[in-house]
Amino acid sequence: MTPAQLSDLLARVRKNHPLVHHITNYVTVNDCANITICAGGAPIMADAIEEVAEMTGIVGALVLNIGTLNHDQVESMIAAGHVANEKKIPIILDPVGAGATRFRTETARRLLEELDITILKGNAGEIGVLAGADGKVRGVDSAGLTGDPIAIAKAFAASSGLTVAVSGPTDIVTDGRRVLLVENGHPMMGGISGTGCMAASVTGAFAAESDDPVQAAAAALAALGIAGERAAARSRGPYTFKVALFDELSLLTPAEFGAAAKVRSI
């Protein structure tokens, strides 16, 4: 992506304030709502089966996060996802902890089978499990992936017909043809809970304003990564870092974004 493309996408998000509907986990729900606002979007957090279909019909993107699963939530995700598919609304799936338990893994696979997911965003272990590539998870954290993560992500994206975003020290985004690497970020981002969930939220805001899921996912990861870099430079520890992360994303201008983003194609 060029600096101009990156700047333009952030500018559109800031101008249009896309609605991003989340069906997500209760650990990070408030963080996800606030990071959406800081990115320029407007969050909706609704998971009751009685309203998810109606709510999804008015939004620009749908984010599904399986961090704290229960049966009712899964059914709401399916119902919302069907409406999103009918209305061509992008769906971002964050398969938190896939591989840790059978319920999580089967739920992630069910969502991938029953819905037309636009962007699958996860860590290397989660993506590896869903790709059948011997990914390993420890609770909800990645414990590694056997093999080349770029090749695995690219093959999985090609076979499944979706965009795969693998978070890590270098983020990988691919649709099976193109591969973008995002090299923004800071190790402190792994020192607090929720940065992966927040990345899915920012991705939702960007996907709502782009017809290119690869560019949307890469731009979102770059924006959050830049905020992480800047937050780390003025933080004393994990919690001051977390507060600064929200501040820095909200203060990031389109021009600064284009100049600071480290997104390259391979």
Dihedrals phi, psi of 118, to nearest 5 degrees:
-85, -50
List helix spans (H) across the chain.
3-16, 29-39, 52-56, 71-86, 102-114, 124-131, 149-160, 195-207, 213-232, 238-251, 254-260
pTM of the entire predicted model: 0.93
Which residues have C-beta within 8 Å of that of residue 255, sequence separation ≥ 6?
Answer: 7
138 has a pLDDT exceeding 60: no
CA atoms within 13 A on the CB side of 102: 0
154 has a pLDDT exceeding 90: yes
How far apart, in whole angstroms, are the C-alpha atoms of residue 223 and residue 199? 9
Q: What is the pLDDT of residue 240?
A: 96
141 has a pLDDT exceeding 90: no
The average pLDDT across 114-133 equals 92
How far apart, in whole angstroms, are the C-alpha atoms of residue 209 and residue 83? 19
Domain total in the chain: 1
pLDDT digits (tens, 9 = 90+) for 66-95: 999 999 999 999 999 999 999 999 999 999
Domain CATH for 221: 3.40.1190.20
Q: How confident is the model at residue 1 (pLDDT cuts 50, 70, 90)?
A: confident
Note down the domain range covering 202: 3-265
Question: Are residues 135 and 127 in contact, defined by beta-carbon separation less than 8 angstroms?
Answer: yes
How far apart, in whole angstroms, are the C-alpha atoms of residue 170 and residue 133? 19
> Of 190, 235, 200, nearest to 221 (Cα)?
200
145 has a pLDDT exceeding 80: no
Strand, coil or helix: what is 177? Answer: coil
List helix spans (H) across 87-209.
102-114, 124-131, 149-160, 195-207
Q: What is the pLDDT of residue 147?
A: 74
Q: What is the pLDDT of residue 142?
A: 46
Average pLDDT of every residue of the chain:
94
The average pLDDT across 95-112 equals 94
pLDDT digits (tens, 9 = 90+) for 223-244: 999 999 999 999 999 999 999 9
pLDDT digits (tens, 9 = 90+) for 14-63: 999 999 999 999 999 999 999 999 999 999 999 999 999 999 999 999 99
